[in-house]
Amino acid sequence: QVQVVESGGGSVQAGGSLRLSCAASGLVYSLNCMGWFRQITGMEREGVAAIVMGGKSTYVADSLKGRFTISQDRAKNTVSLQMTTLKLEDTGMYYCALITAGGLCGDRWYVQDQVRGWGQGTQVTVSA
């Protein structure tokens, strides 16, 4: 059974940086699409970034490009989200997800109906 566990959330001042990590276990295939989603208070959960674990492709939401970067450590089966120049509106719960198992991400990586497994979430709070 696939398990996804996030870590690295916390509080930071606006303009600062945070790095979130996600450890995945129970993966069966060598190629998997994993990603990050977030839910800001009062808004629907949205896609942040995705990466093909075992591959090269990465995806970042247009509004976050230039500030957020997703990467992987294949040896450890971990995915990281580096967030820089954080803004107050980045505050929210961040979720790691196994988006698709055994394949690539595709341009519609952010569609949540296809998610195969969710982490429990980690809180990110950006203060003035």
Q: pLDDT tens digit string along 63-108? A: 999 999 999 998 888 999 999 999 999 999 999 999 999 889 999 9
* H-assigned helices in the chain: none
Distance of alpha carbon 98 from alpha carbon 16, whole angstroms: 27
Q: Residue 74: name the closest of 120, 32, 116 by CA.
A: 32
Distance CA 72, CA 61 (A): 17
1, two tokens: 């059974």
Nearest alpha-carbon partner for 20 in 70, 56, 74, 63: 70
Give the model confidence (pLDDT) of 14-27 as tens digits.
Answer: 999 999 999 998 88
Q: Is the pLDDT of residue 1 over 90?
A: no
Task: From residue 75, give the alpha-carbon distance in Å to each of 72, 112, 124.
Answer: 9, 27, 27
Q: What is the pLDDT of residues 25-74, one digit of tens each?
A: 888 888 899 999 999 989 999 999 999 999 999 999 999 999 999 999 98
Contacts 24+ apart (CB under 8 A), 106-109: 106/33, 107/59, 109/33, 109/35, 109/47, 109/50, 109/59
For position 114, what pLDDT does the model report? 94
